């Protein structure tokens, strides 16, 4: 990590540098967020980007069509044409890939989202409740003695659910997830380079080949699942290319698994460190939906997103010029004292509106209703077990080093024997 003592930075840029460049900032970003939140409006950082931390500013930008996404990799990202040519030679299949929906603006974004949005509505997701409950019960029955909240609950639950929804074989997630873990390094800040980029490239190729084989199977024998439906759209002359279909499946799997995993793991950690909240839920299990909202606010699974001004715009009286990049720290916005009362206090009875953890506007997370339902069911089913749970270690919990996608790395617990 970078030694910041050798740089002469103003206080806000120092706080930003801690977030972006130090292990301390990635393990606990909230002290740095508090420093950034002390300034109203946008902050123009030393690295050239604008930084938004206030809830209202982030919300306005996310909903404003004057802001959107720039292409993920363009010649402008490289100092010389030779560097771009070398990049293309080293990673030849990148140019052939379709951008994922998150990188697109209307009308292309609208076209692709429209193909899958009806599968993730609250009404459709609610119909999955019995199946999600059955998966949760199966996972909980498998817990004996020492277990890891992340690897034994937070990863398999959403992975199994999204696999069934898409039409991926039940054990397919065991193959896909290790590759996905490498791919999501590309969502970190600063972006990965050299060896990490090689790993990301190879992992993406492996996942693409896996999805290609499944598409081939569904084309030969369609089933009642989302992949079969999307293959049908493509084969009927619908506006969905093979490259777009593969990118769509990659995004849907990541969106259906990664955020849910982090919500569950971070939420479990929050309850573990706030035992009075568990007591409240024992007295009133009906409070679990609000508790999940507070888990999302308190330690959001997605901490940071980026936008580019597609044309000149104004935010908090500040002009953002066309082409300027804005970093939106959603984790900070969820701790904004001008929007949430006593924001650094974890309160499962808080009812002050939804946090920005799943974004808002046209890029609102498709999988948000599914992630919420999975977490609600899991924590409800775990309540009878809670009195028999104890941490294996008293050491502080470690978080993964990814700043953008925040999640507990591992949380080992011991389940004492006894009736459930």
Q: Which of 59, 208, 244, 258 is catalytic?
A: 258
Nearest to 374 by CA among 169, 152, 117, 156: 156
242 is catalytic: no
Distance (Å, rounded) from C-alpha 189 to C-alpha 203?
A: 19
- Please count the other Cβ atoms lying within 10 Å of the Cβ belonging to residue 76: 10
CB burial class (10 A; 0-12, 13-18, 19+) of residue 328? buried
CA dihedral 272, 277, 282, 288 (to 10 degrees): -100
Chain centroid to CA 84: how far?
A: 29
**Crossing angle of the two packed helices 242-272 and 288-298, in degrees rounded to 10:** 100
Which of 347, 374, 375, 380 is the catalytic position?
374
Candidate list 17, 98, 203, 365, residue with the active-site label: 365
Query: Is 374 among the catalytic positions?
Result: yes
Helix (H, G, I), strand (E, B) or coil at 304: strand
HSE-up of residue 414 (Cα within 13 Å, Cβ side): 7
Phi, psi (5° rounding) for residue 11?
Answer: -55, -40
Q: Annotated catalytic residue: which of 49, 163, 260, 277?
A: 260
163 is an active site residue: no
> Would you say how long the chain is, in residues?
420
For 144, phi then psi, to 5°, come to -140, 130
In three-state secondary structure terms, 408 is strand
Please tell me which residue in 15, 17, 52, 255 is annotated as part of the active site: 255
Q: Is 365 a catalytic residue?
A: yes
Instruction: Give catalytic residue positions.
Output: 255, 258, 260, 365, 374
């Amino acid at each position: 990590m970078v030694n910041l003592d050798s740089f002469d930075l103003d206080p806000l840029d120092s706080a930003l540098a801690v977030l972006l460049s130090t292990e301390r900032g990635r393990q606990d970003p909230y002290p740095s967020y508090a420093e950034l939140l002390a300034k109203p409006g946008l902050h123009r950082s030393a690295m050239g980007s604008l930084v938004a931390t206030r809830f209202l500013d982030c919300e306005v930008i996310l909903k404003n069509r004057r802001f959107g996404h720039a292409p993920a990799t363009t010649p402008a990202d490289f100092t010389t044409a030779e560097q771009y040519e070398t990049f293309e030679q080293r990673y030849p299949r990148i140019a052939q890939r379709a951008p994922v929906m998150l990188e697109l603006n209307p009308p292309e974004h609208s076209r692709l989202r429209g193909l899958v949005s009806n599968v993730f509505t609250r009404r459709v997701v609610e119909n999955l409740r019995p199946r999600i409950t059955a998966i949760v019960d199966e996972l909980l029955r498998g817990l004996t003695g020492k277990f890891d909240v992340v690897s034994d609950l937070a990863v398999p639950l959403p992975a199994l659910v999204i696999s069934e929804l898409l039409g991926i074989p039940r054990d397919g997630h065991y193959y896909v997830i290790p590759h996905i873990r490498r791919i999501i390094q590309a969502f970190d800040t600063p972006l990965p380079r050299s060896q990490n980029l090689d790993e990301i490239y190879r992992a993406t190729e492996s996942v693409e080949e896996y999805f290609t084989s499944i598409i081939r199977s569904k084309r030969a024998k369609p089933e009642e699942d989302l992949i079969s439906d999307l293959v049908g759209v493509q084969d009927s002359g619908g506006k969905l290319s093979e490259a777009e279909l593969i990118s769509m499946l990659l995004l849907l799997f990541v969106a259906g698994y990664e955020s849910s995993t982090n919500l569950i793991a971070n939420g479990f950690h929050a309850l573990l460190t706030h035992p009075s909240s568990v007591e409240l839920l024992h007295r009133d299990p009906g409070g679990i939906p609000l508790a999940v909202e507070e888990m999302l606010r308190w330690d959001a699974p997605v901490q940071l997103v980026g936008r580019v001004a597609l044309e000149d715009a104004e935010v908090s009286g500040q002009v953002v010029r066309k082409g300027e990049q804005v970093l939106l720290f959603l984790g900070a916005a969820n701790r904004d004292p001008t929007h949430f009362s006593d924001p650094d206090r974890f309160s499962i009875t808080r009812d002050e509106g939804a946090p920005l953890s799943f974004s808002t506007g046209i890029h609102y997370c498709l999988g948000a209703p599914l992630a919420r339902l999975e977490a609600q069911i899991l924590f409800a089913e775990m309540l009878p077990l809670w009195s028999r749970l104890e941490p294996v270690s008293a050491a502080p919990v470690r978080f993964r080093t990814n700043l953008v996608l925040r999640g507990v790395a591992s949380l080992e617990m011991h389940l004492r024997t006894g009736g459930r």
